[in-house]
Structure 1
Amino acid sequence: MSNLSGLGFFKSLRPTNRQFAVIGLGRFGRAVCSTLHRLGYEVLGIDSDEKLVAQVLSEQIASHALQLDSTEPSALKEAGIFEFDTVIVAIGNYIQESIITTLNVKEAGVPHVVAKASTEVHGKLLKRVGADHVVFPEHEMGCTLARSLTRPGILDRFELDPDHSIVEVVVPEEFDGKTIVELELRSRYGLNLLAVCQDEKFEINPSPVLRLHKGSIMVVIGTNRGINQLPV
């Protein structure tokens, strides 16, 4: 699972897309570029700061990168931004620029615009000017950190919605030596087991008689309440 897999906008990206434009190449924007590029998508990075554009090119985390002022519709049009099906506005700290950029790409007819917000008010304004999906990465990463501190056995989490998740979790000592059917994950916790990783090999839809061992990894899907009830 990707380090950014928990962020909401990755769930909103259309699977048919092959090209993305990312406007704003700060830490969040570069992380988005790097993740999409590593997954095999074509990514165009945009920023008004020449140094950030050069950094993205030198790190080879985007297919292309351009320096331009995204508050100028003519510059966006000339760069071909309006031809993209999905544009990610990753400008977070400069609220005015973020809102104007989002307005520009939506007014030009970009079908799907994902925008980063730094505050709740910022998010509401982005929605008002047409953003299709707003993400709060600082908030989401803060929640992830809190979970990792309180539930260290959970290695990774993908939130399906506020109440359900897919998690990668270390098999606890209480489960050691028991078969999947003996654990009764569905009746006891309301969880379904998707995969088990033992000896560095993942087995999808494992046999109910497979015996689990402490320290191996299992992937389960279900309610957050059930996940939190798993033994540590």
Structure 2
Amino acid sequence: MNLNSLNFFKNLRTGNRQYAVIGLGRFGRAVCMTLHNLGYEVLGIDTNERQVDQAIADEIAAHALQLDSTQPAALQEAGIFEFDTVIVAIGNYVQESIITTLNLKEGGVPHVVAKASSEVHGKLLQRVGADHVVFPEHEMGCELARSLTRPGILDRFELDPDHSIVEVVVPKEFDGKSILELDLRSRYGVNVLAVCHNDRFEINPTPNVRLVKGAILIVVGSNQGINQLPV
């Protein structure tokens, strides 16, 4: 699972250096691997010994433990309640996911991010205290639909439901024209953050920069305006 296009990491506290991830399925492994590669210390947890051994062998986490997260005593003994942020990635096992989230909050974990497999599951997680609930399958589905209908948009980071930062391929309609000539702010409600051509980025380009078809344009603005770009 590719987490690059998900909003998942917006829900994590950037001041943290340590995270615990409970559930080492596809989503949990992807979270562990991404955090580990970003330089954070990650503890992976699963009830399945094979999953734990595989996480250690693949070096996707600094440490990995086999334990039953529905048992508060096991979490306490492993020191999980001392973590500032814990990710509950047991999305396909609703009862275990809810009990684990409840245990973490009752154990004093300040920030719990939980994966939900359905809207009802998400509501239940919120009821027992989850600070953030994520729906990765839903987000990936939305991202797939966007990529199929708007292939010129290479990547998107949603700032909120109405605004995004996107990476787009410069279309032929923009070829040879300057940012000033295109007047993107007035026409589409977007601002240019950077232009990339031949693997070289120009950050905060001047209005006189001329765009080349096939280059990369990074803009920020309303989703409504972004969706009107000729890409």
TM-score for both structures, normalised by structure 1: 0.97
Q: Report deviation, 1:139.
A: 0.5
Structure 1 residues 121-140: aligned runs within 5 Å? 121-140=120-139
Q: Report deviation, 1:10.
A: 1.0
Question: Between the two proteins, what is the percent identity of the paired residues?
Answer: 78
Q: State the AA in 1 paired with 2:73.
A: S
Q: Report deviation, 1:14.
A: 1.3
Q: Which runs of 5+ in 2 are unaligned?
A: none
Q: Corresponding residue for 2:97? A: 98
Aligned mates of 2:85, 2:228 — CA distance in 1: 39
Q: Give the secondary-structure state (helix, strand or coil) at the position aligned to 2:195.
A: strand
Structure 1 residues 1-232: aligned runs within 5 Å? 3-232=2-231
Deviating 4+ runs (over 6 angstroms): none
Q: Give the secondary-structure state (helix, strand or coil) at the position aligned to 2:173.
A: helix
Q: Give the secondary-structure state (helix, strand or coil) at the position aligned to 2:98.
A: helix
- Asked if 2 retains the 8 angstrom alpha-carbon contact of 1:9 and 1:134, the reply is no
Q: Report deviation, 1:3.
A: 4.2
- Asked if 2 retains the 8 angstrom alpha-carbon contact of 1:76 and 1:82, the reply is yes
Aligned mates of 2:51, 2:57 — CA distance in 1: 10
Encode CA deviations 1:62-117: one digit per residue, 9 max, x unaligned: 11111110001111111111110000000011000000000000001100000000
- Asked if 2 retains the 8 angstrom alpha-carbon contact of 1:20 and 1:85, the reply is yes
Q: State the AA in 1 paired with 2:103.
A: N
Aligned mates of 1:28, 1:34 — CA distance in 2: 10
- Asked if 2 retains the 8 angstrom alpha-carbon contact of 1:190 and 1:223, the reply is yes
Aligned mates of 1:53, 1:33 — CA distance in 2: 12
TM-score for both structures, normalised by structure 2: 0.98
- CA-based RMSD of the aligned residues comes to 1.1
Q: Give the secondary-structure state (helix, strand or coil) at the position aligned to 1:215.
A: coil
Aligned mates of 1:64, 1:74 — CA distance in 2: 19
